[in-house]
Structure 1
Amino acid sequence: MNQSRSPSRTPARFADWLGLIRFSHTIFALPFAALATVLAMTSPLSSGSTPAFRLRDILGILFCMVFARSAAMAFNRLVDQAIDAKNPRTAGRHLPAGILGRGQVWFFTLLCAAGFVGSTLLFLPNRAPLIASIPVLLFLCGYSLAKRFTSAAHLWLGVALSLSPICVWLAIRGGEVLLHPADWICPLVLASVVAAWVTGFDIIYACQDADFDSQTGLFSVPARFGIEGAFRIARASHIVMLVLLAVLLWAGRPSGLGGLFGIACLVVAGLVWRQHTLVRPGDLDRVNQAFFDTNASISVLLLVAGTIDCLWL
């Protein structure tokens, strides 16, 4: 018989909150927000100058990323509690296992949402991020409901994470970018890279629950097209990502992207290929390795190479 841990008798540990929101997975999106920050600060404005570097902006972007992601992840756990309890793979998560209570998680979610909106107000240099904060937060949280009505939920997640480069660009460059549409090329290409990349690896990850999703009426690519079909779609999504990386190398030239970033793109192509060899339709045993290790390496590698190119080479 499963025994739940009562929050009133055993206070939640800090590690419980980190586990609730899978804080380690921040490594996927945060490096792309950081790369967008570097690109936005090194790409010339229409006047020929570059935006001023301010530590306050960096802190604001960091706080916004952490708070927005934490709010969205906690909301996901709230709305999926009943589903997670039925799925053997997720039954040990914090809410169905009783490690945290719904009231606690609701408070945490609202606190993080307030922290996100407040960070745009207190740290960022213009009001555009504040205006966009509520719609962005609603879209991020909307992903948690998507699998109840569309198999495009994986794409929804990809687009949700891809908002970070766009929001960063808007935060750093403000009204300048609104006056010059051509200035949107670089952040839109980077956002598209993120969307295609996340969509592909989330489809692979969802293959673990293909049977469960089918049985419970949830929408996902593996449930709709089968695991083999899902892998084909994931491969196509990652091919699109690699093509867009080549476009980004061109679009980021005004910021300084060059040879090192080009080499990094080739390494990323190898990592993507490795991800698709670690897991196959009939062998999902190494899906966690493919999901975390490979994708974390991709995001960090692109950040490091892009930063060195733009700031030092």
Structure 2
Amino acid sequence: MSFSTPLGQFADICRMIKIEHSVFALPYAWAGAFLAAGGLPSARSLIFLTIGMIAARSFAMAFNRLADLPFDRDNPRTQNRPLVTGAISKGQTWAFCGLMALIFAAACACLNSLCLWLSIPALVFAAAYSLLKRFTALCHFWLGATLGLAPLAGWISVNPASMPLTPVLLFLAVTFWVAAFDIYYAFQDLDFDLAFGLYSAPSVYGPETSLALAAFSHAMTSIFLLLTGFAAGLSWPWYALWLGISLLLLLEHRLMRPQDLRYVNTAFFTLNGIISPVVLVGVLLGIYL
């Protein structure tokens, strides 16, 4: 039985915002909070950080569906999305965006004044990604930076008085990590993007250059994760897990072939869904051992 809400069926809402993809950003936000606290943050910080992260991500995904609706109707890959099929209306989606924005701002207010002041710019930054594909192939890196805000948000939720190098390095690692797998994901829409004049790395630079750009981004991810450990003074478990993450990134790159996309979901979701929790575990073990 599907739970019905004024904004649509709950299952349709979860499909619209791809709730399962929360695994990408949330562990980085928690990692930022643990690094800022040098251990276990307060329960209050973790609770409202989690609420804020889920709300911000839900807002960004719903806004993305609204912005992409003219294209999603014509793209065979996206024609079953709830907003396209009418399972959720545009009015319901706008209302959902407004509700998530309010929840996000309220969660930020419960953390500290800096989080509250930054809440609206953060929402605008997240929403802007949805429009960039119309103008520039740098959209992948903008999406990366949007998710890269997670460790910064985690840090200032605990320690708003300072912003040292550690969370900035983790921000850069996440930015390049997300940009790489978003480039991989864009291979699915190469022909569509070319036909409709949309700017993705594969449609602008071609498959081979895009693969090289993704490989470069993965290399930067590995470097910045290593530097994060140095800056935070993490102990040996972090470096052991960093090596494992680097090998997973290499495997991800080896799986991707523009001519054969059978492994795109493995590369996009399965492997990347492993990496972010491993980063969190590495931070915890690096702090406590």
Give TM class, smaller chain: over 0.9
Q: Of 213, 219, 244, which aligns to 1:239?
A: 219
- C-alpha deviation, 1:304, in angstroms: 1.1
| One of 22, 26, 34 as aligned partner of 1:38 | 34
CA contact (8 A) 1:161 1:195 kept: yes
Does the residue aligned with 2:76 lie in a helix, a strand or coil?
coil
Q: What's the counterpart of residue 4 of structure 1?
A: none
Q: What is residue 49 of structure 1 aligned with on the other side?
A: none
1:107 maps onto 2:95 in alignment: yes
| Matched letter for residue 44 of structure 2 | R
Amino acid at match of 1:172: V
Query: Is the contact between residue 207 and residue 230 of structure 1 (CA under 8 Å) also seen in structure 2?
Result: no
User: How many angstroms apart in 1 are the aligned matches of 2:23 and 2:77?
Assistant: 23
Q: How does 1:1-313 map to 2 (within 5 A)?
A: 12-42=8-38, 53-121=41-109, 123-124=110-111, 126-175=112-161, 177=162, 183-253=163-233, 257-310=234-287, 312-313=288-289
Whole-angstrom distance in 2 between the partners of 1:221 and 1:170? 33
Find the aligned partners of 1:198 and 1:151 in 2 and give their Cα distance.
Answer: 14
For 1:305 and 1:149, how far apart are their aligned partners in 2? 38
CA distance in structure 1 between the partners assigned to 2:231 and 2:95 by the alignment: 42
Secondary structure of residue in 1 paired with 2:206: helix
Alpha-carbon distance in structure 2 between the residues aligned to 1:195 and 1:228: 21
> 1:12 corresponds to which letter in structure 2?
G
Which amino acid in the other structure matches residue 301 of structure 1?
A: V
Secondary structure of the structure 2 residue equivalent to 1:95: helix
Q: Is the 8 A contact 2:235 2:285 kept in 1?
A: no
SS in 2 for 1:86: coil
Corresponding pairs, count: 286
Q: Distance in 2 between matches of 1:169 and 1:22?
A: 25
Which ranges of structure 1 fall in alignment gaps of 5 or more residues? 1-6, 44-51, 178-182
- Taking only aligned residues, the RMSD between alpha carbons, in angstroms, comes to 1.7
Q: Relative to structure 2, which stretch is displaced further, 10-19 or 72-81?
A: 10-19
Structure ID, larger Rg = 1
Give SS of 1:89's match: helix
Deviation per CA, 1:6-28: give whole Å up to 9, x if none. x99x9932111111100100100
Please state how far the C-alpha of 1:270 moved relative to its aligned partner: 1.1
Q: Quick one: distance in 1 between partners of 2:17 and 2:46? A: 22
Percent identical pairs in the alignment equals: 38
Residue type of the alignment partner of 1:167: A
Separation in structure 1 between the aligned mates of residue 216 and residue 286 of structure 2, nearest angstrom: 29
* Rounded Cα–Cα distance in structure 2 between residues aligned with 1:53 and 1:150: 39
Q: Report the secondary structure of 1:174's partner residue.
A: coil
Post-superposition shift, 1:268? 0.5
SS of 2:167's partner is: helix
Q: Report the TM-score when normalising by structure 2.
A: 0.95
Q: Distance in 2 between matches of 1:111 and 1:259?
A: 43
Comparing 274-283 and 27-36, the one that deviates more = 274-283
Quote how far apart the aligned CAs of 1:309 are: 2.2
Task: Output one character per residue of 1:121-142: Cα deviation in whole Å (capped at 9) or x when no partner.
Answer: 1x21x20000010001000000
Residues 240-269 of structure 1: CA distance to partner in whole angstroms, max 9, x if unpaired?
11111111110110xxx1110100010001
State the Cα distance separating 1:274 from its structure 2 match. 1.1
